[in-house]
C-alpha cells in the first residue's frame, strides 16, 4: 500500500535534520522520539517511507540503512559510531521487540531545495501542526506548486506546473465561461515564489492557460461533456506523464491545492460540472 506523505510529518523531519546537534563523536545526531509525533498515528513504515520520499525527491541528501517496516533484526550495528556522521534514534516501541529502533545515516543534510521548503513551512506552518494531529492534514499555506509536487510525488516544480495546467484545461473545458471567470477571480496567489521567470505566474494564469491559442479556444467553444475515463486519459497524454506517475494521484494533488485557494461556493460550483468519478475525486481531495 502506498505511504501517504503528510506535510506535518515532512515539516517535523526537515526541522529535525536541520537542527540536529553535534555529539561527542562529532556526529550530526537527531533523536526522533514518540513525543515528536504524539497523536499523529505515525507508523515506522510511514516514517521510513517519508524519509525515503524526501531523499528521492531531492529535499534531503541522505544515505541511510534500515528497514521501512521496522523489523528488529534490521537494526544497524552502531558499536563503531565513527562509521556514521548522522544517526536517528527512533524510540517508538517496535511492534516486534522492546528495543529502540535505530536508523543509521552515513550522511544526511538538507539540500537547497529542502532548505527552501523548510523556510516556506517555517513562515507558514502546516495547519495540522498548529491545530493538532486530529485535524485533517492540509498544505494550505505552502506555495501552490509545491503542494502539487509533494502531494503528487512529482520530480520537480516544472512537472507540477505542466500537469496543473493540463488538469485546469480539462476542467475548464467542461465549464461555462462565466463559471470559469468566477474561479479565476479567486486564484490570485503566486503559484510559486521564485525568481525563475518560467514559474512566475499567479494560479489564475495557469487556470486561464499560458498558451494563448488554447486560452482563446476555451473561450469560443461551448462546454464539453467529458467522461471520467476520457478526463484521466487526457491528463495522461497531454501532460506526458511517465509510467511511474499515478495519474489519479496527481489529479488529486492539483484538486487539493486548488480547493485550498477557493471559497466553498466556487468549490461546489466546480463540482457541479465534473462527471462521476472525477467529481468524487474532487470532493475527496
Q: What percent of the chain has pLDDT over 70?
A: 66
The CA distance from 187 to 190, in Å, is 9
Per-residue pLDDT tens for 223-241? 999 999 999 999 988 888 8
What domains sit in the chain, N to C, each tagged with a CATH number? 7-110 (no CATH), 144-284 (1.10.490.110)
Task: Give the CA diameter of the chain.
Answer: 71
- Predicted local confidence at residue 26, as pLDDT: 56
Summarize the chain as % helix, strand, coil (round to 5): 50, 10, 40
pLDDT score, position 53: 86
Q: Where are the beta strands (DSSP E) in 66-177?
A: 86-90, 101-110
Dump pLDDT digits (tens) for 139-185.
444 578 888 888 888 877 888 888 999 999 999 999 999 999 999 99
Q: Does the pLDDT value for residue 246 go beyond 50? A: yes
User: Are 218 and 169 in contact, with CB atoms under 8 Å apart?
Assistant: yes
Q: Output DSSP code: residue 36.
A: G
What would the mean pLDDT of 250-259 be, rounded to a whole number? 94
Q: Write the pLDDT tens digit of every residue in 183-227.
A: 999 987 665 555 555 454 678 888 998 888 988 988 998 999 999
State residue 227's pLDDT score.
96
pLDDT at 79 over 80: no
Amino acid at each position: 500500500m502506498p505511504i501517504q506523505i503528510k506535510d506535518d510529518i515532512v515539516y517535523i523531519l526537515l526541522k529535525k535534520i536541520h537542527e540536529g546537534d553535534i555529539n561527542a563523536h562529532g556526529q550530526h545526531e537527531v533523536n526522533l522520539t514518540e513525543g515528536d509525533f504524539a497523536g499523529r498515528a505515525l507508523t515506522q513504515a510511514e516514517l521510513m517511507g517519508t524519509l525515503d520520499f524526501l531523499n528521492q525527491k531531492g529535499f534531503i541528501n541522505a544515505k541511510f540503512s534500515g528497514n521501512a517496516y521496522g523489523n528488529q533484526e534490521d537494526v544497524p550495528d552502531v558499536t563503531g559510531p565513527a562509521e556514521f556522521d548522522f544517526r536517528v534514534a527512533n524510540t517508538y516501541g517496535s511492534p516486534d521487540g522492546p528495543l529502540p529502533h535505530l536508523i543509521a545515516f552515513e550522511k544526511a543534510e538538507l539540500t537547497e531545495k529542502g532548505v527552501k521548503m523548510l523556510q516556506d513551512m517555517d513562515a507558514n506552518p502546516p495547519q495540522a501542526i498548529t491545530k493538532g494531529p486530529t485535524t485533517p492534514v492540509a498544505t494550505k499555506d505552502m506555495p501552490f506548486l509545491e503542494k502539487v509536487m509533494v502531494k503528487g510525488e512529482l520530480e520537480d516544480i516544472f512537472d507540477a506546473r505542466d500537469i496543473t495546467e493540463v488538469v485546469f484545461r480539462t476542467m475548464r473545458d467542461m465549464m461555462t465561461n462565466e463559471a470559469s471567470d468566477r474561479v479565476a477571480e479567486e486564484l490570485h496567489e503566486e503559484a510559486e515564489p521564485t525568481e525563475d521567470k518560467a514559474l512566475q505566474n499567479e494560479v489564475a494564469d495557469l487556470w486561464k492557460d499560458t498558451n494563448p491559442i488554447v486560452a482563446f479556444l476555451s473561450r469560443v467553444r461551448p462546454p464539453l461533456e467529458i467522461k471520467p475515463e476520457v478526463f484521466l486519459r487526457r491528463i495522461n497524454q497531454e501532460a506526458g506523464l511517465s509510467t511511474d506517475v499515478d495519474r489519479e494521484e496527481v489529479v488529486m494533488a492539483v484538486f487539493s491545492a486548488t480547493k485550498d485557494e477557493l471559497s466553498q461556493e466556487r468549490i461546489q460550483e466546480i463540482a457541479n460540472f465534473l462527471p462521476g468519478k472525477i467529481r468524487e475525486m474532487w470532493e475527496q481531495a
